[in-house]
Structure 1
Amino acid sequence: MGDPAVPILMYHSVATAPNDATRALSVAPEAFADQMALIGDLGLTPLTTADLAAGWRSGRPLPDRPVLITFDDGYEGVHRHALPVLARHGFPATLFVSTGWLRGALGTGGGPDTMLDWRQVRELAAAGVEIGGHSHTHPQLDQLPDAELRTELTRCTEIAAAELGTRPLSFAYPYGYSSRRVRRAVRAAGYAQALAVGNALARRRQGPYALERVTVRRATGAEEFERLLLGRALTRTFARDRALTRGYALVRRSRQLRRKAIRSRD
């Protein structure tokens, strides 16, 4: 069958009344429920990130029509609104947490909107949601010096392991940004796979540390969502995003080179 393409859906907040910082990437609870119902109606098979990567790594065939449902950051609405819908359908999912943003002794709760606490994260895990890492404070990892990069990954991993009793195996890059150096560091931190953004379908040939996802927004309507699931018209849907990403990548690369030059002079 060659290299089958798999839609990996990237959600953030699921909220009735998101704040301005999260509104664009926040999905209304009713829309999320409709989207999960459509996944069921189309006969897709949700998997966790770890299950997909393990299948591709081993060469075992995947279930028919696989799809991944992923959430970034750790917003409270994932527990309040998304979990009951996932449970009703029996769908697994993956939640990538920025540990410093969560509410609790080891986090600041300083995320852009109301965040989960660790009790809620444990309840999500008990309900079949894979918990992955998303750094500690959600920086642009490819802009960090090596020591800070290692700290972001190590703190996230150790806090999640202490709270959940098991080390996270999957990682998602904050903002989707990575580099060869970041991917090596993520692997060295013990993660077996990692997700980017890319707004394209995931394929085995992308490698376990650069699997691409498609963004689900508040403005994503039912017809567009079905196109995302089926891999149709992704180029048209995300053409503007890709152009902006390429342009910003050049800007960020030049900034990184300037910082390296300054550090070498010092």
Structure 2
Amino acid sequence: MYHAVARDPRPSTRALSVSPRAFTDQMRLLADRGFAPVTTARLAAAWRGGPPLPHHPVLITFDDGYEGVHRHALPVLAAHGFTATLFVSTGWLRGPYETGGAPDTMLGWGQVRELAEAGMEIGGHSHTHPQLDQLTDEQLWFEVLCCREIIDEQLGRAPVSFAYPYGYSSRRVRRTVCAAGFAQSLAVGNALARRTQGPYALERVTVRRSTGLREFERLVDGREIAWNFAGDHVLTKGYALLRRSRRLVRVVTQGRVPFAAVAP
């Protein structure tokens, strides 16, 4: 899971960005090791009985829609014949649907179309990048469906894959994503994707600016992932409990019964 690819990212995105040099080295390592990149849709189709996956499959994803995906990542991917999936927050992209609030320089829709024409899968990542599990039912439906409809309008085909902003979801969120027409969705989790996770909770491994090449090699080999992200897992579990508590308090205060409490 990548975010920005940039030489000089803003402070708000620096930790989750990678330099163009690091990205080049990481893609060369994948090529040298014989990994075969697939899209999210391709992975899901194979697990649903479609054509089998290639030997050593790997899923390369980009969240949010930063301009560096077009400027820096696309030429490197093309040089190796690699594909990837880009999950865009439609309200953050430059153009007619822009809502503001983007943390760094974002793609324009012309660039998104060029990425799609180059073979990159374009997926949904909400409209304004909120914590989806904290929204009301109405807000949640808007964020997911609006994102899907805008991508459909701009690219001429509706996206089939989704990624949760911040990786946060709940059963209510996953059901909404499914109802909106997405066939699969990715979380974070910092673990290898497994069929047993189900199509709406597939996990990914975060690549950061601090991720060295040796660490990257261990991650794609599935080695020491738990050790590398042990601190993240503890914080994630604690924050998940806090978010559930916040939503419950908010819903009770408003005199409503949360959907998630009915179907936990």
TM-score bin, normalised by smaller chain = over 0.9
Could you say if the C-alpha distance between residues 37 and 255 of structure 1 is closer, same or farther in structure 2, counting changes exceeding 3 Å? same
CA distance in 2 between counterparts of 1:195 and 1:265 reads: 29
| 1:201 has 2:192 as partner | yes
TM-score, with normalisation over the residues of structure 1?
Answer: 0.95
Q: Could you tell me the TM-score, scaled by structure 2's length?
A: 0.96
Count of residues paired in the alignment: 257
Aligned: 1:23 with 2:14: yes
Question: Are 1:170 and 2:161 an aligned pair?
Answer: yes
Match of 1:183 among 164, 169, 174: 174
Which of the numbers 75, 81, 103 marks the counterpart of 2:66? 75
1:246 is matched by which residue type in structure 2?
Answer: K
The residue type paired with residue 262 of structure 1 is T
- Matched position secondary structure for 1:252: helix
> 1:114 and 1:60 mapped to 2: Cα distance?
38
Shift in alpha-carbon separation, 1:254–1:229, aligned structure 2, 3 A:
same
| 1:221 aligns with one of 204, 212, 215 | 212
Q: Secondary structure at the match of 1:249?
A: helix
How does 1:238-253 map onto structure 2 within 5 Å? 238-253=229-244
* C-alpha distance in structure 1 between counterparts of 2:253 and 2:87, whole Å: 34
Q: Work out which of the residue numbers 111, 118, 124 in structure 1 matches 2:115.
A: 124
Change in CA separation of 1:265 and 1:120 when aligned onto 2, cut-off 3 Å: closer
Q: Aligned partner of 2:229: which letter?
A: F
User: In structure 2, what is the equivalent of residue 110 of structure 1?
Assistant: 101
Structure 1 segments (4+ residues) deviating >4 Å = none
Question: Quick one: distance in 2 between partners of 1:265 and 1:66?
Answer: 45
Per-residue CA shift, 1:83-141, capped at 9, x if unaligned? 00001001000000000000001123531000000000000000011000000000000
Q: Is 2:99–2:128's contact at 8 Å kept on the other side of the alignment?
A: no
Task: Determine the C-alpha separation between the residues in 2 that align with 1:97 and 1:219.
Answer: 24
Amino acid in the other structure paired with 1:228? L
Q: Give the letter for the 1:150 counterpart.
A: W
2:42 maps to which residue? Answer: 51
C-alpha contact 1:139 1:174 (8 A) present in aligned 2: yes
Unaligned stretches of 5+ in structure 2?
Answer: 258-264
Partners of 2:101 and 2:30 lie apart in 1 by 33
Residue type at the aligned position of 2:55: D
Bigger RCO (CA 8 Å, 6+ sep): 1
Q: 1:139 to 1:125 in 2, by over 3 A?
A: same
Secondary structure of the structure 2 residue equivalent to 1:34? helix
Whether 2:244 is the aligned partner of 1:257: answer: no
Cα deviation, 1:140-176, whole Å, max 9, x if unaligned, reads 0011110110000111011110000000000000000
| Cα pair 2:4 2:68 within 8 Å, conserved | yes
Whether contact under 8 Å (2:20, 2:72) holds in the other structure is yes
Distance, in Å, in 2 between the alignment partners of 1:265 and 1:45 is 48
RMSD: 1.1
Q: Which moved more, 1:205-214 or 1:109-118?
A: 109-118
Secondary structure class of the residue paired with 2:101: coil
Alignment partners' CA distance in 2, 1:174 and 1:265: 25
Shift of 1:246: 0.8
Q: CA deviation at 1:212?
A: 0.2
CA apart distance, 1:61: 2.8
Distance 1:143 1:170 in 2: 21
Amino acid paired to 1:186: V
Tell me what 2:146 maps to: 155
Identity of paired residues, percent? Answer: 70
1:181 to partner: Cα distance? 0.6
Contact 1:100 1:108 in 2 (8 A): yes
Shift of 1:250: 1.2
Letter in 1 for 2:25: D
AA aligned to 1:67 is V
Matched-pair contact (CA < 8 Å) for 1:193–1:208: yes
